[in-house]
Structure 1
């Protein structure tokens, strides 16, 4: 899981802990554009030495890579820190969950985020770039081929989704995904068993405002932002084969494989659980829960994100 810690008092933090973030380039870099690198050493495609390789390419392009952060072990930067340091670009190498955590922390900052695909699914990067490959994306950045944009998101309370949100007990399959990422066999079996039971027994989730979809509710309702609204899909699980198919679809981050109802598009809906218990959520692969009666809203994120193709 992403271990992000908010740091709001930059001056106090800088005085006490600056020694923990050594400069990767010396004072000779003054005058060059300041860049920070955030990476997730536990992400699906990270290999030892990758952060150093990225740093080397940035150095060769006459950029000042002032700091690097591994989100598995270090305090992550927020908007106040980046502004105080004069950072122009924060480069983030990781999966959708890592990108979500970093972009959320940088809301209100005037610089730009460069996402480098580094997870297993990289749904957001597939939307943003023609080639979903970190080297190709970095080359495009260094060649000045990327443009800044504000992303469309799904918001629910304090949570945002850059690529997708899943509401309902089927979101528990994300726990099995986490165990797979950590390669813990016992955890995979336990999480998968729990996900199957919960997906089958509920509490199912309904869209109640406006009232759309099955009267029986769904074990999973998916929201994906696109073209000024979010698309709504209700995922069905009517027999054991459907449970397994849906679970595998979630594990592989490919919901299109799962049986579902297309429920149209909207900019606002309210969801309620069958027994008014809390609604399990998966935001860009990360887990959360909200009270029954939760409101899901379309929104535009107030962070500049670099992209290479028109949003679809």
Structure 2
């Protein structure tokens, strides 16, 4: 199989997703031009979900040393999971809305700066820490609690589903002001009453826990809007700490709603979250955490 000579990249496949935040036709044309200008030959472009995610065997059969992924964090998660154990490397570019994994690997750098560094041999292969649970693994971040119900509202907004938006908003507000709060049970951190939303962010030192809350109806609505915009970090929150593993539980025994790199899932009323390295090499051009 071909390799990246000193991490200097000149051949790759490209994975895109038209539903991702930055994947406009103009942006894709600009990306193709930028890759070509830096001597990177894109031998195949895969348009997910119209085409299947690439497999390790397909990449190896074509002697491709690198997969460039220009999508949001959810598609990134699925693609990296599909390639677990592959000997090549993945170059993550900021192609979504929040681009949290790209920021872990490259800081706030844009496509052209990242591509210039990688094509010049200045990237490093890394395996950043993931946050893991029975429902999956998160490279960018994992959200737990009734506040994750706003994820379904966001999906309805994408599909212009007006009844779904209205119903989802009512349900999300009801859950955020109800009794199904989430709390850190072991170790016992923060409020015993729980929070509408706890964020788990994997990093070099462990899993960072941030608990978001609201004190009145207006703040609950504002927090929901912030979640829709993926800017929930602007809301009031407590830093609970950094842990190697943590058990979270629902305060009223109901199932835990979660978002794994933005994708919804469910867990039982009590679940353990731990950390582990990514099972695939990613190319980094800045601080990984």
TM over 0.5: yes
1:77 counterpart SS class: coil
Distance in 2 between the 1:67 and 1:46 partners? 17
Q: CA deviation at 1:122?
A: 1.1
1:294 aligned residue:
271
1:23 aligned residue:
none
Deviation track 1:201-245 (CA, whole Å, cap 9, x = no partner) reads 141122211122211112211111122201111222332022112
Q: Kindly report which structure 2 residues correspond to 1:275-286, keeping only aligned pairs within 5 A, or say none.
A: 275-286=252-263
2:5 aligned residue:
none
Distance in 2 between the 1:266 and 1:101 partners? 25
2:135/2:267 contact within 8 Å kept? no
1:121/1:252 contact within 8 Å kept? no
- Structure 1 residues 130 and 166, CA, compared in 2 at 3 Å: closer, same or farther? closer
1:200/1:237 contact within 8 Å kept? no
- Structure 1 residues 261 and 60, CA, compared in 2 at 3 Å: closer, same or farther? closer
2:34/2:112 contact within 8 Å kept? no
1:190 aligned residue:
167
- Stretches of structure 1 lacking an aligned partner (at least 5 in a row): 1-31
Structure with the bigger RCO (C-alpha within 8 Å, sep 6+) is 2
2:75 aligned residue:
98
2:127/2:277 contact within 8 Å kept? yes
1:48 aligned residue:
25
2:221 aligned residue:
244
Pick from 155, 166, 169: which aligns with 2:143?
A: 166
Q: How many aligned positions are there?
A: 281
1:202/1:219 contact within 8 Å kept? no
1:209 aligned residue:
186
1:33/1:87 contact within 8 Å kept? no
Q: CA deviation at 1:263?
A: 0.9
Deviation track 1:22-46 (CA, whole Å, cap 9, x = no partner) reads xxxxxxxxxx964111001111121
Distance in 2 between the 1:170 and 1:223 partners? 14
Pick from 79, 92, 117: which aligns with 1:115?
A: 92
1:34/1:86 contact within 8 Å kept? no
Task: Please report the RMSD computed on the Cα atoms of aligned residues, expressed in angstroms.
Answer: 2.1
- Structure 1 residues 65 and 199, CA, compared in 2 at 3 Å: closer, same or farther? same
- Structure 1 residues 217 and 52, CA, compared in 2 at 3 Å: closer, same or farther? same
Distance in 2 between the 1:256 and 1:288 partners? 21
Distance in 2 between the 1:171 and 1:305 partners? 28
Deviation track 1:106-144 (CA, whole Å, cap 9, x = no partner) reads 111111111111111112222222443223322332232
1:22 aligned residue:
none
- Structure 1 residues 123 and 183, CA, compared in 2 at 3 Å: closer, same or farther? farther
2:40/2:119 contact within 8 Å kept? no
1:218 counterpart SS class: coil
Distance in 2 between the 1:262 and 1:65 partners? 43
Q: CA deviation at 1:102?
A: 1.2
Pick from 44, 53, 66: which aligns with 1:89?
A: 66
Deviation track 1:64-89 (CA, whole Å, cap 9, x = no partner) reads 43322111211111333333432200
Q: CA deviation at 1:296?
A: 0.3
Of stretches 164-173 and 49-58 in structure 1, the one that deviates more from structure 2 is 49-58
- Structure 1 residues 272 and 91, CA, compared in 2 at 3 Å: closer, same or farther? same
Distance in 2 between the 1:199 and 1:297 partners? 25
1:222/1:232 contact within 8 Å kept? yes
2:6 aligned residue:
none
| TM-score, length basis structure 1 | 0.82
1:169/1:219 contact within 8 Å kept? yes
Distance in 1 between the 2:118 and 2:134 partners? 33
